[in-house]
């Protein structure tokens, strides 16, 4: 399991134990986390699982693909340099302890 912390817009912090290979979006939906809408179910076509990755560890993630970059242009909350789609963040041991923040809104 990979431990990832989600910070909700309210500032509340939630720790998830994410099975290796699962996306952060899958773990958030399975655990009923508010703020991750995931309308497309992880197919990388909706941008409703937008998150902000902690800046200090952003470079540890694999770079976003072309589809993700296009969708990040469509996010409803402010796009930031550390914006990613949680459906594209796969749990791996090197991401243990990662912190991501959920935007105030997705739709």
Range of the domain at 41: 2-101
Tell me: the pLDDT tens digits for 32-91?
A: 999 999 999 999 999 999 999 999 999 999 999 999 999 999 999 999 999 999 999 999
Q: In the chain, which residue ranges form alpha helices assigned H by DSSP?
A: 24-30, 66-72
Tell me whether residue 18 is in a domain: yes
Q: Considering its fold, how many domains does the chain have in total?
A: 1
Tell me: the pLDDT tens digits for 3-16?
A: 999 999 999 999 99
DSSP state, residue 107 = -
Query: With contact defined as beta carbons under 8 Å apart, do 54 and 99 qualify?
Result: yes
Tell me whether residue 84 is in a domain: yes
Tell me whether residue 107 is in a domain: no
Domain with 71 in it: what CATH number?
3.10.20.30
Put the strands of the sheet holding 13-18 in their side by side order: 13-18, 2-7, 98-101, 50-53, 83-85
Residue 68's Cβ-count burial label (10 Å; 0-12, 13-18, 19+) is middle
Tell me whether residue 106 is in a domain: no
Query: With contact defined as beta carbons under 8 Å apart, do 18 and 97 qualify?
Result: no
pTM value is: 0.96
CB-side neighbour CA atoms (13 Å) of 28: 33
CB-side neighbour CA atoms (13 Å) of 15: 6
């Amino acid at each position: 399991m990979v431990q990832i912390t989600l910070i909700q817009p309210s500032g509340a912090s939630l720790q998830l134990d994410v099975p290796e290979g699962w996306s952060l979006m899958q773990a958030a939906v399975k655990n009923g986390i508010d703020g991750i809408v995931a309308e497309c179910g992880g197919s990388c076509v909706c941008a409703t699982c937008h998150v902000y990755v902690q800046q200090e560890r952003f470079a540890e993630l694999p770079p976003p693909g072309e589809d993700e970059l296009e969708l990040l242009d469509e996010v409803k909350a402010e796009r930031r340099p550390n914006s990613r789609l949680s459906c594209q963040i796969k749990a791996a041991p090197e991401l243990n302890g990662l912190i991501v923040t959920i935007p105030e809104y997705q739709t």
